[in-house]
Amino acid sequence: MAERNPAGVPVLNGIDLQVKTGEVIVILGPSGCGKSTLLRCLNGLEVAHSGSLNFAGRELLDKGTDWRKVRQQIGMVFQSYHLFPHMNVLDNLLLGPLKVQKRDRREARDQAEALLARVGLSDKRDAFPRQLSGGQQQRIAIVRPLCMNPHVMLFDEVTAALDPEMVKEVLEVIQGLARDGMTLLIVTHEMAFARAVADRIVFMDGGRILEQNPPGIFFTNPQTARAQQFLEKFSYVAALPQTTQTKELELL
Amino acid sequence: MNFDYAFILSTLPAFLNAVGVTLQVGFIAIGTSLLVALINATILVFRTPYLQRLVGLYVELARNTPLLIQLFFVYFALPALGIKVSGFAAAIITMTFLGGAYLTEVLRAGIDAVPLAQLESGRSIGLSHGQLLRYVILPQAGILGLPSLFANFIFLLKETTVVSAVAVPEILYTTKSYIALYYKTY
Ligand SMILES: Nc1ncnc2c1ncn2[C@@H]1O[C@H](COP(=O)(O)OP(=O)(O)OP(=O)(O)O)[C@@H](O)[C@H]1O
Ligand SMILES: [Mg+2]
């Protein structure tokens, strides 16, 4: 799969990624390497110019693809929440189920309230986004696509805009989804979280996937020099390779 | 000064009627202008190729030619081309042409103030273009653009007086006819 920016320079190139149902993928890589672009290609916010994108047995890069249908099955959460500021929490959550999926109001509302309870925000259903903390808004923003019963969820640095004390409450929600067996693709800079939640780490640089490995291997024994350099910046990760090890690996 | 109250009173019904017609033209024109502006805004929000350029051209043209010229064009030039319009219709067409352009600008300003991220956010839950506009963009653009929207409504109502020039029995026209008839300005 490849994607180009307006200048014609490929932003993504030769991306070959297969995700199984129930798998939790964490995408790591330096800023500007194309992580967001990759996620956005998966739900059609960005259109890949060449290659193939297969979802549930269907080719999504075909002209006839109904992205509105696909987006109901592939939920996305953004870095800055992007809730609808003119609607209260419940209306934010129900817009998709009622207007896009045309579901019964009572049934959709019951589901929304159950999900709200699950993220500990039952008492906020009538609040407006501006009345909520960043962590609360982000938990609502996670519930919003969940209300449409998606098969896959995409998370693009969803804790990057949060104060440190709110990061945990959001990550716990995602961890809960992972435990439930939902398919997740997560872009994050929270290394400890990545290590704990991922079935597989996908490391990107310069619009390419440089390596894909289980976290146990990636964090202790990265296969590429770029990944080692990248991990050195997160020295607080307990199992980071020693400097001497790193040098040896570079020689290999 | 020596007001001829009896004369002023005798012309009052005609004036009231004229005010009624002005308001009628004004309010219909506000409605049709809003409709035109909404269509244009949709084209602009979703960056519809070619049509987007056309909207830009229309807005420039409508805003940079005098209302009277537009009116004369509709009232005199169109019949010459075989399209017959009444004074009332000509007034509404002209006011819509002008008002549509101004309200397009108001909506565009409001829409520009809605962050692009809101569009993507709405897209990501599967909203269609129409639903995006209706539930996400316009409510936010409308709130942001409300004061200038009202200012433009008032502007349109005031401009309606200009349509007297095409024989709609309207305030200015009524005044002029009475002046012509009686050579009295008060
Ligand atoms: N709309 C755009 N037009 C042109 N270039 C773009 C556009 N969006 C992104 N890019 C470029 O594509 C590359 C990848 O961007 P992307 O946002 O996917 O990176 P990222 O890995 O998510 O970075 P970060 O960690 O900072 O979020 C960058 O070099 C960026 O400059
Ligand atoms: Mg990004």
When pLDDT is cut at 50, 70 and 90, the band that residue A16 belongs to is: confident
Q: Which fold has domain A3-237?
A: Rossmann fold (3.40.50)
A229 Cα: distance to centroid of ligand 1 (angstroms): 21
B4 touches chain A (CB under 8 A): no
Q: How high is the pLDDT of residue B85? A: 77
Q: To probe the interface with B, which of A92, A100, A148, A185 has the most B CB atoms within 10 Å?
A: A100
The DSSP bridge partners found for residue A156 are A187
Please give the mean pLDDT across all residues of chain B: 81
Q: Cα(A91)–Cα(B9) distance, rounded to whole angstroms?
A: 57
Q: Tell me, yes or no, whether B1 lies in a domain.
A: no
Is any ligand 1 atom within 6 A of the Cβ of residue A40?
no
CA nearest ligand 1 atom 10, residue: A5
User: pTM of the entire structure?
Assistant: 0.80
ipTM of the complex, rounded to two decimals = 0.85
Domain ranges of chain A: 3-237
Strand pairing class (A183-187; A24-28):
parallel
* Residues in B touching A85 (Cβ below 8 Å): 140
Total structural domains within chain B = 1
Place of tokens 């990760």: A237
Distance in Å, CA B43 to ligand 1 centroid? 27
Q: Give the CATH number, domain containing residue B44.
A: 1.10.3720.10
Q: Inspect the interface and report whether the beta carbons of A76 and B135 lie closer than 8 Å.
A: no
Minimum distance, in Å, between the CA of residue A36 and any CA atom of chain B: 13
Residue A69: closest C-alpha in chain B: B126
Q: Is B58 a member of any domain?
A: yes
In this predicted structure, what is the pLDDT of residue A250?
Answer: 36
Say if B82 is an interface residue toward chain A (CB within 8 Å): no
**Does residue B140 fall inside a structural domain?**
yes
Residue A198 has pLDDT above 70, yes or no: yes
**Residues in CB range of B144: below 8 A, 6 or more apart:** B109, B110, B113, B114
Most confident of A118-127, A235-244, B42-51, B170-179: A118-127
Whether the Cβ atoms of residue A154 and residue A77 lie closer than 8 Å to each other? yes
Mean pLDDT for all residues in chain A: 88
- B34, A84, A40, A75 alpha-carbon torsion, rounded to 10°: -120
B5 falls within a domain: no
Whether B10 has a pLDDT exceeding 80, the answer reads: no
Task: Write the pLDDT tens digit of every residue in B79-125.
Answer: 888 887 777 888 888 889 999 999 998 888 888 888 999 999 999 99
pLDDT at position B166 is 56
Contact A80, B120 (CB under 8 A): no
Range from A59-63, A76-80, B2-6 carrying the lowest mean pLDDT: B2-6
Report how far residue B105's alpha carbon sits from residue B100's, in angstroms, rounded to the nearest whole number.
9
Question: Looking at the domain assignment, is residue B39 inside a domain?
Answer: yes
Give the number of beta-carbon pairs within 8 Å between A and B: 58
Residue A24's CB is within 10 A of a number of other CB atoms, namely 23
* Domain with B168 in it: 12-182
Q: How confident is the model at residue B170 (pLDDT cuts 50, 70, 90)?
A: low
